[in-house]
Amino acid sequence: MTLLETEAAWERLRPVRTEAGAGAAGLVRGPDGRWRWSEPASPEARLLADRYLPLCLAGPRLTIAQLGQSLDGFIATRTGDADYVTGEEDRRHLHRLRALADAVVVGAGTAVADDPQLTVRACAGPHPVRVVLDPHGRVPPDRRVFTDGSAPTLWVVGATGERRPAPPHGVEMLTLADPDAFAPRRLVRTLARRGLGRILVEGGGVTVSRFLHAGALHRLYVTVAPVLLGDGVPGLRFEGTPVMRDALRPPVRRSALGEDTLFELDLSTPRPRTPLDGQHRGTGEAGGEGEHAVDHGDGQPLARAQARGAEGPGGDALPGAPAAHVQRQRHGDQGEHQQGHQLGQRSV
């Protein structure tokens, strides 16, 4: 019996954007609502459909983030060494996320410290537009995202008052005169107006934390490696809650990536909770940016029920708005400069 194998399944899966397209690719929806291949498929091919089809069908406006870290929450050692915290399967997962995105976003610290390529190489798929957030203009023009010509690059800078040299060939420079335009939700809208509606926020820890804290993410992927660093460059940090009962606890699904564990957090569905004293607390909408605290689920499917008509990260009506159960704190990009590093598996 011939099985549908991984690479063939991926080639069918990655262009799917509608349910009709899923059917044409050979997927059928079961009585439980989950999509499966209509033909015999290998375990790896079945896993691809289960993990990535929800992203394929999420529509033209989707913002996700990916982070890799140690068991104790660090994405690099204190010297900045991150080669590599997580393993090869997590790298392949990251590249699949890139292939499904219109744009991949990194902060200035990541571009300076890691000099990443941000292209799709570990799987088949198109390169996303590479977006470098550089409000203070501190990323040198010799970084590979500006010089290798592998994919289009959008260099987003602030109005510093200094005359800037022309960007390298193939690089578009976008100047945002208003510092508040770098707030995550506004950035999402700005990119969407340029046709970049499906966004992967890749790093560093500060940039991912800001998007999470602002309630601008639909999903967050955190891959945890079985390694202890003791100290180093932290991953997620935002202003946390003083009591555990108010912590952010989104629906989560766990799966293995080799020796690593992938946590997939569904942030698209607000989940109001009742405090122990029986009083209902309002969660509000997180709209700022933060750089303090975070913490870091078993193969169960993510909860899919979503409130209709809510406003999404880009301000459009979406099936469900990203959950925002965290407090807000506005700040500049100083924390990004202090951390200066991106993913635990290091972006390459």
**CATH code assigned to 59-268+284-339:** 3.40.430.10
Q: 94 vs 342, which has greater pLDDT?
A: 94
Cα(27)–Cα(23) distance, integer angstroms: 5
pLDDT at 161: 61
129 has which bridge partners?
A: 103
Position 338 scores a pLDDT of 38
Is the distance from CB of 75 to CB of 85 less than 8 angstroms? yes
pTM above 0.85, yes or no: no
Task: Give pLDDT tens digits for 180-223.
Answer: 999 999 999 999 999 999 999 998 899 999 999 999 999 999 99
Sign of CA pseudo-dihedral 224, 228, 233, 239: positive
N residues, the chain = 348
What are the residues whose beta carbons fall under 8 Å from the beta carbon of 276, sequence distance 6 or more?
A: 245
Residue 2: count of CB within 10 angstroms of its CB: 6
Residue whose token pair is 């997590």: 90
| Confidence (pLDDT) at 132 | 97
Across the range 67-95, mean pLDDT stands at: 92
Domain limits of the chain?
A: 1-57, 59-268+284-339
Q: Where are the beta strands (DSSP E) in 177-244?
A: 198-203, 219-225, 233-234
Helical axes 43-56 vs 6-13, angle rounded to 10°: 10
First to last CA, the chain: 39
Lowest mean pLDDT among 145-159, 222-236, 294-308, 328-342: 294-308
Query: What would the mean pLDDT of 46-50 be, rounded to a whole number?
Result: 97
Average per-residue pLDDT in the chain?
Answer: 81
Provide the percentage of residues in the chain whose pLDDT is more than 70.
Answer: 77
Three-class DSSP category at 68: strand
Between CA 235 and CA 254 the distance in angstroms is 19
Name, of 175-179, 319-323, 336-340, the range with top average pLDDT.
Answer: 175-179
Q: Tell me the pLDDT band of 145, cut-offs 50, 70 and 90.
A: very high
User: Looking at residue 348, what is its pLDDT?
Assistant: 65
Cα-Cα-Cα-Cα torsion 323, 324, 326, 332, nearest 10 degrees, comes to 120
pLDDT of residue 313: 43
CB-based burial label for 295 (10 Å; 0-12, 13-18, 19+): exposed
> What pLDDT band is residue 83 in, cutting at 50, 70 and 90?
confident
Please determine, for residue 33, whether its predicted confidence score (pLDDT) is greater than 50: yes
Per-residue pLDDT reduced to its tens digit, 252-309: 999 999 999 999 999 997 554 433 333 333 322 333 332 322 232 333 333 332 333 3
Assign residue 94 a region: left if phi > 0, alpha if psi is -120 to 50, beta otherwise?
A: alpha
* Res 57: pLDDT: 97
For residue 35, the surrounding DSSP H or E stretch is strand 35-37
Cα atoms in the 13 Å half-sphere on the side-chain side of 228:
1
